[in-house]
Structure 1
Amino acid sequence: MTSQLSETDPHASGNGPAGEPSRQRYASHHHRQFEVMGAHPTDQGTWFTVWAPNAHNVGVIGAFNNWHCEPLRRMDDGSGRWTGRIANARAGDCYKYRVENAWGHWMDKADPYAFRMEHPPGTASQVWDLAYDWNDGEWMRTRGQRQGHEQPMSIYEVHLGSWQREEDGRFLNYRELAQRLAVHCHNMGFTHVELMPVAEHPFYGSWGYQVTGYFAPTSRYGTPQDLMAFVDTLHQQGIGVFLDWVPSHFPADPHALARFDGTALYEHEDPRRGFHPEWNSLIFNYGRYEVRDFLISNALFWLEKYHFDGLRVDAVASMLYLDYARRHGEWIPNQHGGNQNHDAVRFLQDLNTTIYAHYPDVHMIAEESTAWPAVSRPVHFGGLGFGMKWNMGWMNDTLRYFSRPHFYRHWHGDDIRFSAVYAFHENFILPLSHDEVVYGKGSLLRRQPGDEWQRFAGLRNLYGYMWAHPGKKLLFMGGEFGQYEEWHHERTLDWHLWARPFHAGVARWIADLNAVYKQLPALHRHDFDGEGFSWIPCERHESTILTFLRRAGPGEGSAVVICNLTAEPRPALRVAMPEAGEWHEVLNSDAAVYGGSGIGNLGRVQASPQPVGGWPASALVAVPPLGTVILSNRPIPTTAPPQGDFHARQ
C-alpha cells in the first residue's frame, strides 16, 4: 500500500528537513512525553512517534492499511525517534509498530505509549482520543485539604476483577464498579480506594503487576473514558482514588518493551542487572535518561489524565538494592562496592520531586520493606521524597503476634510493642493488603487462634488495635466483613457472609471504627508525630494488655486505648489517665452488635485523681476478652449503643 505519511506535523512548533517535527517539540516535553510519543489522532489523520534508536527500519501496521507496513522516518536530531502521519488512521483502529533490527530481523511491537490496548489475549495497540468531561471540580479544588497528613485516611484496597462480577462470572465495567464501590465505601466509612494495577497486562493472574501497556488501562473493564468515569464518580462521592503503579520491572513478552528495537532498550543488557529472578521479569535501566523520562511521564499521565489522587509505588525495595533476591555472584556491586542502586535512588528522587512540583496535593506512597532511611523525607534533606511509606515491619510483627495462641502471647510482648519504637521515623501507612491473604497464608480471620467466637473477637481486636495505632490505614477487600477463605483473583468475594451475624458484626465494627477515626482528631491528627502518642501504665502491668494515649490539639480531646490480647476478661483494670473526670466509652469491640459478649462500662468511666505510674489520675475499666476499648474525654456520636457493665452479665 502506498505511504500516506504527512510532510508536516500540525502540533510541532516548527519542522525540520524532510517534514520531520522539530527537536524543540520534543525537548519542551520533558517528563510529558505522552503528549508527543505514541499515536495522536487529528482531523488530518494520526501522528505516530516511537523511540527505537538502534532499529534499521520502523513502520506502522494496522487495520487502516490491512496490516501492511507503512514506513516512518527517522528524525535527524539524534534522538532515535521515528515519526510520521498516516492519513486514514482513526481513533479506535488497532495497530503495531513493525521494527527491523540491525540484523535484519522484523518484530511486531505494541506501542509503549498507547492510550488503549486490545482486549487480551489480543496484543495490538489502539489509536484513542482521551477527551472526557469531568465533573469532580469540587473534589479537585479541595483535595489538598482532604488529603493533608493531619487528616484521617482509611484506604480500601481493591482488585477490580474479583471484588464483584456479573452472576455469569463476567467482569463488571469500570462505571458499574464505581457505582457499587462508591456506595460500599460510603457505608463503610473508607476515605479512599486503592486500585491494584489497572495498566494493561496480558496475564490476568499477575494481578496487574506484569505491565505491557503503561499508558493504557486494561480493557477488561472498559474504555479509558470508563475508567475516568470511575474516578469521577468516586470523587463526586467524596472518596479519593489511589493507583498501584509498577516502575520496578516489566514482563519479557515479545510484543512489549523487551528488546524493543532488538537491543536492551528499556532494560539492562547484563542479566545481573536487567533480569529479576524472583518475578522472571526485566528491570528498567534507571541510568538511561529516556527510560526515566518514560516512567516519570507515565506517573504524571495517570495523575493528569485520570485525576488519580496518588500513586502507590510497588516494590521499591527491589529497585534500591542491586542484590535484591539474588545470591552471591548474581549481581554487580556499584562503583563503591556496595549494593545500593544509585541510579534507582536518583530516579525515585527525580520522580517524587517532579510529581510534587506538579501536584502538591497528591500522595506518593512507597511499598518499601527494609530499613532504608528517610524514604518519606524530602529530597533536599537526603530522603527519597515519598509522602508516605507502607509500614511492613508493623504488619509482619502484628500478624505474627495475632497468629499466636493466646497463652503464648505472654512471652512475645515485644513483638506487639516494638512498632512504637520507630512509628514516627517515617510517615507510615499500616497495611493489611492483598499480599497477606494469598498463597496459603489464609484469611485474616482464619489466622486467628481459638474457637469461632475467639477468632471473630480476635479479628475485631486486631482492627481496633490497628485503627488506634499511629499511622494511616489500609485494608484489603473482604477484610471488612471477615472473608473466611483466602483471596483468589478468579472468584469474587463471599458476599453472602454478610447474612451471618459474626461477619455482619465485623462489618459494623469497621464502619464504626472509621466513623470514630474521622470524628475524633486524637486518632488521626498526629499520625506522623510522636507528640500524639504515649504508652500509659496500668496498676498491674500485663504484657498482653496494651494501654496507650492518643492526643490531638487543645480542645480536640484525647483518646485512651486499651487492648486485651487474651481471652481472659479484666473486670476492674486500673488504668492511668491524663486527667480526672468523665471519659466516654466511644468504642468497645465486645459490644453485642459486633458479635461480642457485651462486657463494657455502661458507656463511660470516671477517672479519679488517684495517680498511677506517675500519671495524675486513673480509672477502673472493665476490659473484655480479646477486646479493644477506646475512651475519650470528648463525647462523640457513635452508632453503637452503650455497653452493659461487667458484673451485670455474669
Structure 2
Amino acid sequence: MDFNAFYNGQEFEAYRYLGAHTQDRGVIFRTYAPSAHRVSVIGEFTDWREIPMERVGNGQFWEVYVKDAAVGHMYKYRVHHGGSFVDHCDPYGYLAEVRPANASIVYNNKNYVFHDNEWCASRHDLQNEKLNIYELHFGSWKKKGLEETDWYSYREMADLLIPYVKEMAYNYIEIMPLNEYPNDLSWGYQPTGFFAPTSRYGKPDDLRYFIEQCHLNHVGVILDFVPVHFAIDGFALNNFDGTPLYNYPNDAVGKSEWGTCNFQHSRGDVCSFLNSSAYYWLNEFHFDGLRLDAVGNLIYWQGNSQRGENREAMKFLQTLNRGLKERIPHCLLFAEDSSSYQGVTAPIEQGGLGFDYKWDLGWMNDTLDFFKKTPEERKEHYHKLTFSMMYFYNEHFILPFSHDEVVHGKKTIVDKMYGSYEEKFAQARALYLYMYAHPGKKLNFMGNEFGQLREWHEYREQDWTLLHYPMHQSFHQFHKDLIRLYNEHDAFYQNDFNEKGFAWIDCQKEEQSLYVFKRCSEETLIFFFNFSDAPQDYLYEEKGKLTCLLNTNDHIYSGQGDRIDHIETGDNITIPAYTGMVYQLQD
C-alpha cells in the first residue's frame, strides 16, 4: 500500500493490505489504530484468547501472523486504550456473522473466476441510450416463507429475479445497500462492514455469482453505497482506536440526523477507507456502478445549505469519482442529492463533482404532489409539471420513484393518486407514461410496477398475490408494454440531455389540465396528457399524420377503451379523463 497516498486520501486499494489475508498455511492480520495503546487479535483459532499484534510501518498499523488461523474462522480485534478495551469487528473484513452476532470471518477473495468479460468490456456511460432501473431491497422482493429471516440467498435470487427483470425488460437493477449492517430497520444505510457483503444472503462468492449471472443475461447491477455515515454501534468503526478515528470528535457535526456517526472527510485516512470500499465493490464484485446516498449531506454541513458548503467532503467526492473513473472508466456514478447545488454532474476539471447522473428529486416531489391534488386544485398547480424543463439541462438527471416514496406514511405510488380505486390506477398509468416521456433516465422501485397498495416493509415480501386481481394484472401488463415501447423507440432516450430532444407543443391549458409535447431523435413522438377528471377537446395543429403507439385508457389496461388510432393536422380530438397517449409522427 502507498502510505503517503493513504494519509493524503488518494489510496484506493487499502483493502489489499489491511484486514485478514490468507498467507502460506495461516493468516496475516493487519489493522489501522493509530491511537491504540495495544491491539490483539482474538478468534476461534485460540479459543478467543488474545494474540498480541506488533506495531508496523510508522507505528500506527498493527500486524500479526497466525499460523493456526484459516478461512472460516471468526475473529475480532481487541483494541486497548487507556485502562480499558473494546472488541471490534475488522473495518476491512471481507465477511461477518449474521446479525445480531458481529465477529468478522476470515475469507479468501481470490477463488472466484468471473466469466463476464464480454459484458464488462462493452460498458459505457449510456448518456444517449436507454437506462431503465429496477430498484429493489434484496431481502423483501420475495421470501421463502412468512418469517422475517426467510430470505432467498444470492444464488437463489439469480434464478428468481433475473427472469423477472428480463420479462419486464428493465436493463439495470439497483440494489439497496448490501454492506454488512446490524439493524434490519436501517435497510443497510447504517453500515458496519464496508468490505463485507451482508451474510443474510450468503457469502461473497455467492454475490459474485449473482452479479455474473445478471451480466450473462444482459442486466447491469448498481449498488447503493453509503459514504456519509456509519452505524453508531461500538463493535464497529465508532471510536475504533479509543478515539473518534473515523468520525468527528464534535457531536455538532459528528452525529447525523439519523443518529449515526458522520465520517470525517477532512481526514485523508478516512477518505482512503471510503475510496477503497467503493473501488472494492466495483473491482472485486463487478458491480457496474454506485449510487451514492445522501450526497447533499456531503455538499453542505449536515445537509443544510444555510450552514455552508463542506469543502473537504466535496473534495473527497471529486477525488473518489476521478479515481474510480481512472480505474474503471465506464463505471456509472449516481448522486442521490436533494439539494439544488449546481455542478453535481459537471466534469471535475470544470469544477463539478464528476457524477454521471443526479436523482431529480425536485421533479419527483413536484410530480407526486400534483397527482395528490384534486382535479380542481390541479388547475392552480398546473406548472408543477412544466417547471422541471426550466432547469432540466443543468444536470444529467435520473427520474426516480424510489423506496423513499413508498414508506413512513407516504403511501405507495398508486395510492398517492387522487380519487377512487379505478381512478387511482387510471392516473397512475398516465403518470408512468408521463415519466417515461419526460427527458431523463428512469428508476422505479419494486412493487410499483403492479400497483402495490401496502407500504413497503423490509420484513415482508411484495404482495405478489395482487397479480391475481384484474386491475393489478392489467397495470403490470401496462408496465411491460410501456417499457417495451421505451426500449424500441430511441426518441424516448437518445437526446435526454440535448435540448433538441424535447419541445413543448402546448403547456398553457391550465383549465383543462392538458399537456402536449414531443420527443425527437431521428423519429418524432408526440405525447398528449389529460390529467383532469373529464374528457377534453384538443385541436391538433402540428404538421403531419400521427399513428397511436400506446393509450393508457385501452381496455387491456382496464381503461374505457376510447382510442384514436390516427390523428392528422386540423383534427379536433377528444382526450379521455386521466389519460396519456403517445403517437409516432409519420414521414
Shared topology, TM-score over 0.5?
Answer: yes
Gaps of 5+ in 2: none
Q: Deviations over 1:411-435 (max 9, x none)?
A: 1111111111111111000010011
Q: Deviations over 1:335-360 (max 9, x none)?
A: xxx61101101000111111111112
Cα pair distance change 1:576/1:57, threshold 3 Å: farther
> Equivalents in 2 of 1:26, 1:381: separation in Å?
26
> Equivalents in 1 of 2:107, 2:437: separation in Å?
46
Deviation at 1:543, TM superposition (A): 5.2
> Equivalents in 2 of 1:634, 1:310: separation in Å?
38
1:6 match: none
Determine if contact 1:599/1:622 at 8 Å carries over to the other structure.
no
Instruction: Give the 5 Å matches for 1:504-543.
Output: 504-537=473-506, 542=511
Q: Deviations over 1:27-68 (max 9, x none)?
A: 999211111110011233111110000011111000111101
> Equivalents in 2 of 1:568, 1:239: separation in Å?
41
> Equivalents in 2 of 1:363, 1:26: separation in Å?
24
Structure 1 residue 196 corresponds to structure 2 residue 176: yes
Determine if contact 1:538/1:576 at 8 Å carries over to the other structure.
no
> Equivalents in 2 of 1:340, 1:266: separation in Å?
20
> Equivalents in 1 of 2:136, 2:330: separation in Å?
22
One-letter code of the match for 2:36? A
> Equivalents in 1 of 2:224, 2:217: separation in Å?
21
Structure 1 residue 385 corresponds to structure 2 residue 385: no
Determine if contact 1:538/1:573 at 8 Å carries over to the other structure.
no
Name which structure has the greater RCO, CA cutoff 8 Å, separation 6+.
2
Residue from 578, 583, 586 that aligns with 1:631: 583
> Equivalents in 2 of 1:538, 1:354: separation in Å?
43
Deviation at 1:93, TM superposition (A): 0.6
One-letter code of the match for 2:155? R
Residue from 278, 290, 306 that aligns with 2:269: 290
Determine if contact 2:142/2:462 at 8 Å carries over to the other structure.
yes
2:299 match: 320
Deviation at 1:576, TM superposition (A): 3.8
Structure 1 residue 84 corresponds to structure 2 residue 36: no
More displaced, 27-36 or 314-323? 27-36
Structure 1 residue 135 corresponds to structure 2 residue 115: yes
1:105 match: 84
Cα pair distance change 1:126/1:512, threshold 3 Å: same
Larger radius of gyration between Structure 1 and Structure 2 = 1
Instruction: Give the 5 Å matches for 1:353-368.
Output: 353-368=322-337
Instruction: Give the 5 Å matches for 1:423-442.
Output: 423-442=392-411
2:540 match: 575
- Percent pairwise identity: 38
Structure 1 residue 47 corresponds to structure 2 residue 28: yes
Residue from 39, 43, 46 that aligns with 1:58: 39
Instruction: Give the 5 Å matches for 1:243-282.
Output: 243-276=223-256, 278-282=257-261
Q: TM-score, normalised to structure 1's length?
A: 0.87
Determine if contact 1:23/1:77 at 8 Å carries over to the other structure.
no
Determine if contact 2:512/2:532 at 8 Å carries over to the other structure.
no
Look up the SS of the partner of 1:496 in the other structure: helix
One-letter code of the match for 2:421? E
> Equivalents in 1 of 2:290, 2:540: separation in Å?
41
Q: CA RMSD in A?
A: 2.0
Deviation at 1:444, TM superposition (A): 1.2
> Equivalents in 1 of 2:6, 2:309: separation in Å?
32
> Equivalents in 2 of 1:501, 1:235: separation in Å?
34
> Equivalents in 2 of 1:160, 1:188: separation in Å?
18
1:590 match: 553
Residue from 116, 137, 140 that aligns with 1:162: 140
One-letter code of the match for 1:112? P
Cα pair distance change 1:576/1:37, threshold 3 Å: farther
> Equivalents in 1 of 2:406, 2:477: separation in Å?
21
Deviation at 1:634, TM superposition (A): 5.7
Residue from 289, 303, 314 that aligns with 1:345: 314
More displaced, 130-139 or 30-39? 130-139
Residue from 10, 13, 18 that aligns with 1:37: 18
Determine if contact 1:162/1:490 at 8 Å carries over to the other structure.
yes
Deviation at 1:104, TM superposition (A): 2.3
Instruction: Count how many residue pairs are aligned between Structure 1 and Structure 2.
Output: 583
Look up the SS of the partner of 2:394 in the other structure: coil
Look up the SS of the partner of 1:376 in the other structure: coil
> Equivalents in 2 of 1:251, 1:536: separation in Å?
50
